[in-house]
């Protein structure tokens, strides 16, 4: 007897023990309601991890947690099969909708904008691993995701009086490949914490940040091969231009200082791999710029052109966006021409465990706190302090850093993950963290002095409110 066919819409309605916990895997549909309490990971894993996939596909989760992809686990899953996923599940493509061909994303993302798609992963998954899985890397799109043929795509390197065209194969074979591990963070990360004041921009939480290993060719090598003279004092900026969208008639562009692009250890690359595989479409396939230590906005995706010039890029996102202002500046008085563009990022940290609003049962009066810390410009994290009594006393966290031999950089471009055991009292508790980088820059205590009308560079002490049981 054939099993029934279910649509993704019907599956999405079964996302709790009350109405059943359903998931799909490949073309199968499974009711795992009776299994979740039997999972070897225990009750905590069930609540925090398994339920994130309820009502949707688990394929991407199993790609991240590959321990599941064994014959034994697949046999267990098959015991709970109740049907097949509808082949007509996908909506027909609307050719008049420029976003109709956007790629599939995990349903667990916290969506800040659907068109263009902008979303961040759940905080409880963000620091599960030092390297952020591609499927969980935050997505920041300003335009529709293009479909680009990698075989015909060319990167134009224009120097004014000369230019060259590079194919994807040229990038891979004509230049020494390098791998750079770097954290990329949106300038609006943690903007939500400025919600008590009016700001303009997407309401990002603390997860518009991620760390990946990027493989590609150095921009320095590419420019030199095109005949660029690094001693030319008239050239002060290197520009990156993204794919031209025929429907919206727009392309994304940005620029960085020449000294960053041409520095022997600036580590600016044109990447074609993300964590060892082709870059996903959401993250710039087939090639993108990677500018370690700089704001995410300068890491231009779907790259089609590199140019040089005496002035910054004239792109909207360079001239009229991604600039920070004084707390006293209003929308009426903001002078975008005068304000400098955001490039290097300040020191920041955030708590990933426990989640805001958690009810905690402490062990011997202690609670485990986890999170991330990062600073721009290649500055390392020297210390993370954690407090649960309003900052009267602080516990120094244990720091986890990447393998220094994992890539081709001598700089610390990537975040530091940290863990601390903190004494807590029963009742309502606010847990706080702050980071200090290798230049002894420390996060400000509160939002007020750094508030700006665009809500950029929110890096005050991160605060999470929880309830501690007796």
List the one residue out of 58, 63, 49 whose CA is nearest residue 22. 58
Q: Verify whether residue 442 is a known catalytic residue.
A: no
Q: Verify whether residue 39 is a known catalytic residue.
A: yes
Of the listed 14, 30, 138, 186, which one is catalytic?
186
The rounded distance, in Å, linking the Cα atoms of 271 and 418 is 28
List the one residue out of 134, 342, 174 whose CA is nearest residue 270. 174
The total of other beta-carbon atoms located within 10 Å of residue 469's CB is 9
List the one residue out of 381, 352, 444, 374 whose CA is nearest residue 136. 352
3-state secondary structure of 21: strand
Q: Verify whether residue 186 is a known catalytic residue.
A: yes
Of the listed 30, 294, 322, 372, which one is catalytic?
322
Pairing of strands 154-158, 277-278: unpaired
Pairing of strands 209-218, 269-274: antiparallel
Of the listed 68, 105, 110, 153, which one is catalytic?
68
List the one residue out of 159, 152, 146, 128 whose CA is nearest residue 64. 128
List the one residue out of 310, 291, 304 whose CA is nearest residue 155. 304
Residue that the structure tokens 């302090």 belong to: 385
Of the listed 14, 25, 140, 272, which one is catalytic?
140
CB 249 within 8 A of CB 243: no
Give the residue numbers marked as catalytic. Answer: 39, 68, 140, 186, 322
């Amino acid at each position: 007897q054939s099993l029934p066919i279910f649509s993704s819409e019907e599956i999405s309605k079964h996302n709790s023990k009350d109405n059943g916990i359903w998931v799909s895997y490949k073309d199968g549909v499974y009711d795992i309601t009776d299994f979740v309490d039997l999972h070897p990971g225990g009750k905590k894993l069930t609540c925090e991890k398994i339920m994130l996939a309820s009502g949707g596909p688990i394929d991407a989760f199993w790609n991240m947690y590959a321990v599941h992809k064994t014959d034994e686990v697949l046999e267990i899953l098959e015991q709970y099969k109740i049907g097949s996923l509808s082949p007509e599940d996908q909506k027909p493509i609307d050719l008049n909708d420029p976003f109709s061909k956007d790629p599939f994303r995990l349903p667990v993302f916290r969506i800040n904008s659907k068109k263009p798609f902008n979303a961040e992963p759940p905080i409880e998954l963000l620091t599960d691993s030092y390297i952020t899985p591609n499927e969980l890397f935050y997505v920041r799109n300003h335009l529709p995701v293009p479909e680009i043929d990698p075989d015909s795509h060319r990167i134009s390197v224009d120097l004014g009086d000369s230019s060259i065209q590079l194919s994807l194969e040229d990038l891979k074979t004509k230049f020494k490949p390098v791998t750079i591990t770097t954290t990329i963070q949106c300038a609006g990360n943690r903007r939500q914490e400025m919600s008590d004041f009016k700001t303009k921009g997407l309401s990002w939480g603390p997860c518009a940040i991620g760390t990946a290993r990027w493989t590609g060719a150095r921009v320095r090598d590419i420019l030199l091969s095109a005949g660029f003279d690094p001693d030319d004092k008239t050239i002060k900026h290197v520009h990156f231009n993204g794919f031209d969208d025929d429907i919206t008639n727009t392309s994304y562009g940005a620029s960085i200082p020449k000294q960053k692009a041409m520095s022997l250890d600036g580590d600016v690359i044109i990447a074609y791999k993300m964590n060892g595989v082709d870059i996903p479409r959401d993250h710039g396939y087939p090639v993108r710029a990677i500018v370690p230590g700089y704001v995410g906005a300068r890491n231009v995706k779907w790259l089609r052109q590199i140019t040089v010039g005496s002035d910054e890029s004239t792109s909207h996102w360079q001239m009229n966006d991604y600039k920070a202002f004084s707390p006293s500046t209003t929308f009426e008085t903001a002078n975008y021409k005068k304000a400098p563009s955001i490039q290097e990022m300040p020191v920041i940290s955030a708590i990933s465990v426990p989640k805001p609003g958690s009810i905690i049962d402490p062990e011997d009066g202690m609670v485990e706190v986890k999170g991330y810390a990062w600073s721009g410009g290649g500055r390392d994290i020297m210390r993370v302090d954690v407090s649960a009594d309003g900052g009267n006393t602080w516990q120094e966290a244990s720091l986890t850093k990447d393998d220094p031999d994992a890539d081709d950089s001598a700089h610390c471009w990537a975040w530091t993950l940290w863990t601390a055991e903190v004494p807590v009292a029963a009742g309502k508790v606010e847990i706080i963290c702050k980071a200090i980088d290798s230049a002894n820059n420390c996060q400000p205590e509160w939002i007020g002095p750094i508030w700006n009308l665009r809500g950029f560079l929110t890096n005050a002490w991160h605060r999470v409110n929880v309830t501690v049981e007796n």
